Chains A and B, each alone.
Chain A
Amino acid sequence: MRRLVVSILLLLLMAARMPAFAQQAAPPAAAADSVVATALADLGSGDYDRIRHGVSALAFSGDDRALAIIEALDAGTLYVRADHKLFLKSPSGAILDAATGKAAPDVMASGLHEVRVNNPVRSAMDAALGSLRLLSPDAATRTKAAEAVFHSHDPRALPTLEKAIARETNAAARRRETQARAAVVLFIPATPLPARLAAIATLRARGDLDARSLLDSLHNQPPEAAAAAHTAVAAIDRSLALWGVVQSIYFGISLGSVLLLAAAGLAITFGVMGVINMAHGEMVMIGAYTTFLVQQAIRAHWPDLFGASLIIAIPAAFLVSGAVGVVIERTLIRFLYGRPLETLLATWGLSLILQQGVRTMFGPTNQDVGTPAWMRGSIDVGGLSLTLNRLYIIVFAIAVLFALMAALRYTALGLRMRAVTQNRRMAAAMGIRTPWIDALTFGLGSGVAGIAGVALSQIDNVSPNLGQNYIIDSFMVVVFGGVGNLWGTAVAALTLGVVNKFLEPVAGAVLGKIVVLVLLILFIQRRPRGMFPLKGRAAEA
C-alpha cells in the first residue's frame, strides 16, 4: 500500500519536473538500467541542476553501482571525459569505468576532469548517501545515514528505511531510523492521521532543535495533526529551555574550573604568602610550553606514548614552573617582602621579560599542542553534549584543588608553610628555615600554575600571551574568594564561571564580562576581604 503511494507520488513529482525519470516507476531491470544510464548522462553533463537530479535518480534507482559512484562524487574522485563518459578512481588508485564498474586501464588520467559540485548538489548527495548507506553493515554509518534522511525527509527513502528498520539490531540506530521514518512520513500527503500523530509523538520524544524546526516547518497537515505538532513544539521549547539552563550551568562550571586552575597557584603565592605575583600568568604559560616541548619530544622519540603525553607533562610542567618560581623568589621577591606595591611592579617587569623571552625562543605564533585520542569527542547526556576535554579539565581542577589542600594540611612542608605564614619569628625560633620555606612555598604556587598550563594548553592557544588572559581573572577569583582560603577560591571560581555564562546569552560575551567585573568591583567595595575572610589575628598580619 505505502509503496504504491510512494510510486504515485514519485510519478507526480517527476511528471512535474523531470520527464526523464518517468521510467523509474516501471520496475523491470531494463528500465532501471535506462534510469541509471540517464542519471550517468546527467552526472557527466557539467550542469549543476542536471547533476543534482542525476544524483537523486541514481540513489533511488536501487542499482548496486549507485553507492560507489556517489561516494566517488562526494570524495572528488569522480571524473568525466570530454565525451561525457564517467570514470571513478577506486581507493586503490585504479581508474574504473563508472557505467560498468570494470577497470579501464587505457584511459589517460590527463583527459579526465573532476565532476564539480555546488551546495545544492552537495545536499542532494548527503540525502542520497543517507538512503544508500541505511543498509550498511556498520551501525554508526546507519545511524548517520538515518540522520541524513531525517534532515532531507525525502519520501523516496522510505522503502529503504522500512527495510533497514525491519532488520535493525542496534538500539541507537533503530531510534534514529524510526525518527527518520517519522520525519519522512509527515511529508507524505497520503499518510493517515494515526500514523501522523504517532510520527509527531516520535519527534516530540526526540526533543532537540532539529525535531523542533522540522515540526515547525510542517504545513498542510490535518487539524488534529497540526494541533499535536503545535503542542509538541511547545513541549520541546520547554524542555530545551530547561536543558539550556543545565547547559549554562555546565559551561559555567567548565569556565569556573579553568579559573580555578589558573587561580589555585595564586591562592598560594598571593593568598598564603601575600606576594603579588603579576608574572603568575607567565608561570601558566611556561607550563603550557613545557607541555608543548614534552609532546615534541614524545612525537620525535616515542610516538607510541603520545596518549600519555599530557600525563607526563603534568609533573614536568610542575617541576619547570616550580623551579622558575624558586629562582624568582630567591633572586627577586625575597628582597621585596613587605613592599607589595614594589613587588607588583617588579613582577610585572618580570612577566614582560618572560613573555618576550618565550617570544624570542619560540616565535610569536601559536604552538600546536595535540590532544590525545582519549580526550577527544563528547558524550551525550539528555539534551547535553559534553565535550570530553572540558569534562577532564573539570575533574582535573577538582583533583588539583584537593591535592593542594592535602599538601598544605598533611605534609611536613605544608605544616611548615602554615607555621611560617602564621608566625614567622616563632617558626624560626622552632628551627624552621623560613627563607627556604618561602622559596618552596613560592615554588609550589608556581608549580601549580604550571600544571594549570598543561590543562589550558588543551583549550586555549599556546602563545606567549597565554598568561595575560588569565592574570586579572585569577586575581579577581582570589580576592573574591577571600585571601588565604582555598575553599573560598574554589567557590569564587565556580560562582564567577556560572554567573559569566548566565549573563552571556542575555548581555553578550563582552558585556557579560564587563557586568561581572563591575559586580566584582562593587562586591570588593562591600566586602574588601572577600567572601570568606580569614578571622583572627593572622588576618591582620
Chain B
Amino acid sequence: MKTTLSTPLTLILVLGGAALMAALNLATPAGSAMHVPDYAIQLAGKYLCYAMLALAVDLVWGFAGILSLGHAAFFALGGYAMGMYLMREIGARGVYGNAILPDFMVFLGWNHLPWYWYGFNWLGFAVLMALLVPGVLAWIFGWLAFRSRVSGVYLSIITQALTYALLLAFFRNEMGFGGNNGLTDFKDIAGFPLQSAATHCGLLVISAVVLCGQFLLARALVASRFGKVLVAVRDAESRTRFLGYRPESYKLFVFVASAVMAGIGGALYVPQIGIINPSEFSPSNSIEAVIWVAVGGRGTLSGAILGAVLVNLGKTWLTGALPELWLFGLGALFIFVTLFLPKGIVGTLAQWPRRKRSAEAETETSRPAPLSETSP
C-alpha cells in the first residue's frame, strides 16, 4: 500500500544525511562555509533517536491500534541502562574519585554498589539490558493488559499511569539511579571520549544505521503475514478473534518488539545528550512522541521518521527563536493534525494520486481503529 518510493528514499535520506553531516564536520575546518558545527551533529543524533521512538510508537499505534501514552518510559529505561554503563565507565575520574561508586552514591553516603548495578561496567551487558529491561516490562505489562482485553482509551490511560509511576519512582534517591539529577558527567564510551566531535559523528552514523535497520525490520514485519493479521486486529479485533486468531498474542509480540526498539533509541540517545534524568519519563514526552507519528502519518513507517525529525526541528527552532510560542505551536499542531490531517503528511501524499483515480480508495486506506471494540 505504501508507495514503493518511500522506503529507498527514507534510507537514502537518513543514511546519506548522517554520513554527509559527519563527513562535513570532520573533513572541513571550523571556519569553512561547508562546515557542519558540532551542535548540529548532536542535534541530528538526537532527532534520529527520537525517530526510533516514533517508529516504535507507529508500530503499535499505526499497525496494532494500541495508542501507548507511555512509550517514552521504554525509551528512558534503555537510556538509563546506557547511562549506568557510562556512569561506571567514569571510574575514579569522578569528583570523589571513587573507582567503584558513582559520585551520587558517594554523596548519599552509600558504601557499596547496589546489586542491580553489577555488570554495568561492560558495554555489552548494558546494551543487553537496554533491550531486555524495556522488553520484559512491556511483556509483563502487555501480557496483563491484552489478556484481560484492556483496549482503546483504557489502555492509553494505564500506559500513561505506568510512565507516571516510573517517573515518581526514579525521582526517589533511594532507587539508586541518581534521583532528581539523574545520571550525567559522562567521560567516555568504550574508550572514545564523549567530548570529542569524532565520537559524536560516530554515534550519529551508528544511530542512522540502527534506525535504518529498525525501519527495514519494521517494514518486513508489517509486510509479512503477521503484519496483515495485525492490521486485521487493529480494524476489527472481534472478527479476527472469531476467525481463529489470538489477537492478544499478536498485540503482545508487537508491543514487546516496539518497546525494545524504543529502548535502543534511548540507549543511543544518552551518550549523545550526555544526561538522563527522570523527566524523560514524564507523560508529556510520550504524548509528544505520539504527535510526531501523527504529523508524519500514522501507519506509515517513513512518516514516523519524517514526523519526528520535522517536529523536533520546529521545536529546536521555535524554542530558540520564540520560546513563548513553542507550546502554542505544539498545541496547535496537535489540533491541526487531528482535525485536518488525520493521515499525516506521508499518508496524505500517498493518497493523492490515488484519489484522482478513484473516489473509492478512501474506504480501503488505513482508517483509525474503531475504539471500543465490544468483546463478547
Contacts and interface: CB of A to CB of B under 8 A. Distances in A.
Interface of B: 61, 67, 69, 141, 144-145, 147-150, 152-154, 156-158, 160-162, 164-165, 168-169, 171-172, 283, 287, 290-291, 294, 324, 327-328, 330-335, 337-339, 342, 368, 370-372, 374
Nearest to A342: B338
Interface in A311-363: 332, 335-336, 338-346, 348-353, 355-357, 360
Interface stretch (A98-106, A158-166, A285-293, A507-515): A507-515
Contacts of B283: 472
Interface stretch (A63-71, A195-203, A521-529): A521-529
A532 interface: no
A524 B327 contact: no
Contacts of A335: 339
B335 A510 contact: no
A197 B331 CA distance: 71
A276 B290 contact: no
B291 A345 contact: yes
Interface of chain A, helix or strand or loop or mixed?
A: helix
B172 A540 contact: no
Given A343-B338, A520-B161, 18 more contacts: A344-B156, A345-B287, A345-B290, A345-B291, A345-B338, A346-B335, A349-B331, A349-B332, A353-B331, A356-B324, A357-B328, A475-B160, A479-B154, A521-B162, A522-B144, A524-B158, A525-B158, A526-B148
Contacts of B160: 472, 475
A294 interface: no
Contacts of B338: 336, 339, 342-343, 345-346, 349
A518 B327 CA distance: 31
27 contacts: A336-B339, A338-B371, A339-B371, A341-B156, A345-B337, A348-B287, A349-B335, A350-B334, A353-B327, A353-B328, A353-B335, A472-B160, A472-B161, A476-B161, A479-B154, A510-B168, A510-B169, A511-B172, A513-B165, A514-B165, A518-B165, A520-B161, A521-B162, A524-B158, A525-B158, A526-B148, A540-B372
Given A344-B156, A345-B294, A524 B334 contact: no
Contacts of B287: 345, 348
Contacts of A514: 165, 168-169
A524 B335 contact: no
A198 to B, nearest CB: 48
A357 B160 CA distance: 25
Given A346-B338, A356-B328, A341 B168 contact: no
A518 B144 CA distance: 12
A156 to B, nearest CB: 45
B253 to A, nearest CB: 19
Contact of B342 (A274, A342, A541): A342
A532 to B, nearest CB: 15
Per CB-CB distance, the 4 closest pairs between chain A and chain B, nearest first, are: A349-B334, A352-B331, A353-B331, A356-B327
B148 A525 contact: yes
Contacts of A339: 338, 368, 371
Contacts of A475: 157, 160
A383 to B, nearest CB: 31
B158 A276 contact: no
A346 B327 contact: no
Interface of chain B, helix or strand or loop or mixed?
A: helix
Contacts of B371: 338-341
A30 B8 CA distance: 108
A517 interface: yes
A341 B158 contact: no
A345 B334 contact: yes
A271 to B, nearest CB: 12
A355 B327 contact: yes
A286 B149 CA distance: 36
Contacts of B339: 332, 335-336, 346
Contacts of B171: 510
A404 B133 CA distance: 46
A525 to B, nearest CB: 5
A276 B149 CA distance: 19
A540 B374 contact: yes
Contacts of B145: 525
Contacts of B372: 274, 340, 540-541
Interface in A395-433: none
A479 B156 CA distance: 12
A524 B154 contact: yes
Contacts of B150: 524-525, 528
A524 B332 CA distance: 32
B324 A517 contact: no
A526 B328 CA distance: 39
A430 to B, nearest CB: 25
A342 B330 contact: no
Contact of B327 (A341, A352, A472, A510): A352
Contacts of A510: 168-169, 171-172
A424 B131 CA distance: 48
A512 to B, nearest CB: 10
B257 to A, nearest CB: 21
Contact of A352 (B165, B334, B342, B368): B334
A256 to B, nearest CB: 18
A411 B55 CA distance: 50
Nearest to B61: A341
A301 B156 CA distance: 48
Contacts of B328: 352-353, 356-357
A348 B168 contact: no
Nearest to B291: A345
A348 B76 CA distance: 22
Interface string A449-492: 00000000000000000000000100110010000000000000
A448 to B, nearest CB: 20
A49 B172 CA distance: 44
A194 to B, nearest CB: 52
Contacts of A541: 372
B10 to A, nearest CB: 24
A484 to B, nearest CB: 12
Interface in A339-395: 339-346, 348-353, 355-357, 360
A341 B169 contact: no
B165 to A, nearest CB: 4
A339 B160 CA distance: 19
Contacts of B370: 338
A341 B65 CA distance: 10
Nearest to B337: A345
A336 B162 CA distance: 26
Contact of B161 (A348, A350, A521): A521
A395 to B, nearest CB: 30
B172 A521 contact: no
A356 B161 contact: no
Contacts of A528: 148-150, 154
A316 to B, nearest CB: 26
Contacts of B332: 349, 353
B161 A517 contact: yes
Contacts of A342: 338, 342, 368
A501 B359 CA distance: 59
Contacts of A525: 144-145, 147-148, 150, 158
A488 to B, nearest CB: 15
A328 to B, nearest CB: 10
Most buried by A among B168, B287, B334: B334
B364 to A, nearest CB: 19
A476 B154 CA distance: 10
Contacts of A518: 165
Contacts of A357: 328
